[in-house]
């Protein structure tokens, strides 16, 4: 396994975080919404006081103890969200279908709850739908192969990939593995839709080489593999929180996990009392430092952006000047030979009105030009 720094939430992480957020945020009220770069910040009034919920595009979602700069001017998207979300009460936080999708059910005094849907994939999206699943506001509107995210249209969840991690039984599991000619770790990740880390963990716990080919495994191997898979699933569903941040041999923090991962047994760890706090420490401290920069650095960055825009505009202006010169030359040529060009044009239009095909007219004029017939000097070809 390559121990590179994790950058994204897996569906296992989404399950663990929503389980915690549901307990922490029930009956909380949304007091305001902000957006800074690719972060959505929900300010909440909870039973334990004021909290900030961070949602980062396709990375993660968590309550944070870190400070983030608040932009002075909201985007049109944020203005629309505020109109619908301010002072709404959160009734429930859940995961959809063991996918990287988080659903916030919001109190609606007139009917069934509205929902704020957070899609943590394809660079992320935040979609607000009403009690009839009609899209009120979305960060990004887009047409997909199997669904559309468009204002005023019904919201459809994306199709889940693979067999359901939470319900697959032993027979289905064995059938999936033993009939495959691909590596076990790849088969698990693709067809049961669990991240590479957890696919490797299943193999590691079973004592099976992750690169083994499914059809080469014995019945005993398959049984051990399913037992390992089931133990990991039960640990996620029913086990105690044992969240920690993992450090590599150089002391660099490389991963954050909601429960014990045996692959990391020999690594240094920092333990936390909740997965949310571990996620906050792992992701938010980096984001907050990157966003809170010295003011002069921000000004220099802004200047660079404006200089780039200016250069593009100057280049475009030069391009327009060349086009202008070219068009003037063509215009002068047409004006100088206007009568001859007009006669030739009328000849073509007359022939077409008599029912000749473009190819026939082209052929006749090409022949006439070769014979130096008057008025065909400027003819080259007809492109229908």
What is 239-263 written as a DSSP string? SPP--EEEE-TTS-EEEEESS--GG
Helices (H) and strands (E) in the chain, counts: 11, 14
What is 87-111 written as a DSSP string? TPBEEEEEESTTSSEEEEEE--TTS
CA–CA separation, 270 vs 230, rounded Å?
A: 26
Question: What pLDDT does residue 296 have?
Answer: 46
Question: What pLDDT does residue 292 have?
Answer: 59
Picking from 172, 201, 203, 208, the residue whose alpha carbon sits closest to that of residue 263 is 201
CB 242 within 8 A of CB 259: yes
Stated pTM of the model: 0.72
CA distances from 38 to 58, 111, 232 (A): 9, 32, 33
CB 202 within 8 A of CB 176: no
Strand partners, 317: none
Picking from 242, 292, 271, 284, the residue whose alpha carbon sits closest to that of residue 62 is 284
Question: What pLDDT does residue 18 have?
Answer: 96
Q: What is the pLDDT along the chain (384 residues), one digit of tens a residue?
A: 445 566 688 999 999 999 999 999 999 999 999 998 888 999 999 988 999 999 988 789 999 988 888 888 888 999 999 999 999 999 999 999 999 999 999 999 888 999 999 999 888 899 999 999 999 999 999 998 889 999 999 999 998 888 888 889 999 999 999 988 889 999 998 888 888 889 999 999 999 999 999 999 999 999 999 999 999 999 999 988 789 999 988 888 889 999 999 999 989 999 999 999 999 999 887 776 666 555 545 666 777 888 889 888 998 898 899 999 999 999 998 888 888 888 888 989 998 899 999 998 898 888 888 888 887 888 889 988
CA 357 to chain centre: 52
Question: What pLDDT does residue 116 have?
Answer: 97
CA–CA separation, 204 vs 228, rounded Å?
A: 9
Picking from 83, 91, 92, the residue whose alpha carbon sits closest to that of residue 32 is 83
CB 53 within 8 A of CB 66: no
Q: Residue 197: how many CA atoms within 13 Å on its side-chain side? A: 23
Question: What pLDDT does residue 170 have?
Answer: 93
Strand partners, 34: 41
CB 106 within 8 A of CB 93: no
Question: What pLDDT does residue 193 have?
Answer: 81
Q: What are phi and psi of 147, to 5 degrees?
A: -165, 165
């Amino acid at each position: 396994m390559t121990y590179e720094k994790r950058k994204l939430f897996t569906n296992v992480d989404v399950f663990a975080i929503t389980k915690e957020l549901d307990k922490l945020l029930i009956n909380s009220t949304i007091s305001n919404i902000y957006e800074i770069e690719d972060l959505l910040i929900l300010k909440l009034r909870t039973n334990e006081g004021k909290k900030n919920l961070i949602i980062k595009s396709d990375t993660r979602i968590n309550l944070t103890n870190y400070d983030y700069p608040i932009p002075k001017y909201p985007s049109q998207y944020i203005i629309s969200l505020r109109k619908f979300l301010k002072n709404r009460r959160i009734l429930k936080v859940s995961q959809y279908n063991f996918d990287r999708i988080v659903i916030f059910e919001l109190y609606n005094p007139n009917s069934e709850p509205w929902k704020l849907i957070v899609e943590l994939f394809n660079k992320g999206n935040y979609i607000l739908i009403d009690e009839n699943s009609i899209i009120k506001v979305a960060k990004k509107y887009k047409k997909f192969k199997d669904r559309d995210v468009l204002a005023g249209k019904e919201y459809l969840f994306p199709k889940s990939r693979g067999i359901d991690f939470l319900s697959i039984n032993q027979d289905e599991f064995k059938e999936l593995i033993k009939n495959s000619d691909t590596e076990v770790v790849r088969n698990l990740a693709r067809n049961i839709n669990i991240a590479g880390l957890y696919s490797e963990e299943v193999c590691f716990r079973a004592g099976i080489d992750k690169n083994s080919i499914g059809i080469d495994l014995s019945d005993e191997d398959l049984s051990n593999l399913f037992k390992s898979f089931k133990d990991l699933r039960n640990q996620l569903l029913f086990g105690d929180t044992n969240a920690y941040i993992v450090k590599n041999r150089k002391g660099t923090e490389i991963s954050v996990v909601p429960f014990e991962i045996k692959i990391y047994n020999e690594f240094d760890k920092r333990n936390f009392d909740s997965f949310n706090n571990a996620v906050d420490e792992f992701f938010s401290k980096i984001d907050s430092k990157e966003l809170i920069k010295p003011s002069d650095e921000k000004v220099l960055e802004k200047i660079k952006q404006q200089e780039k825009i200016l250069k593009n505009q100057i280049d475009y202006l030069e391009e327009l000047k060349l086009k202008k010169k070219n068009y003037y030359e063509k215009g002068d040529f047409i004006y100088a030979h206007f009568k001859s060009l007009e006669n030739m044009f009328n000849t073509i239009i007359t022939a077409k009105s008599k029912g000749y095909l473009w190819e026939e007219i082209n052929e006749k004029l090409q022949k006439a030009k070769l014979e130096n017939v008057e008025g065909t000097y400027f003819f080259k070809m007809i492109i229908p």
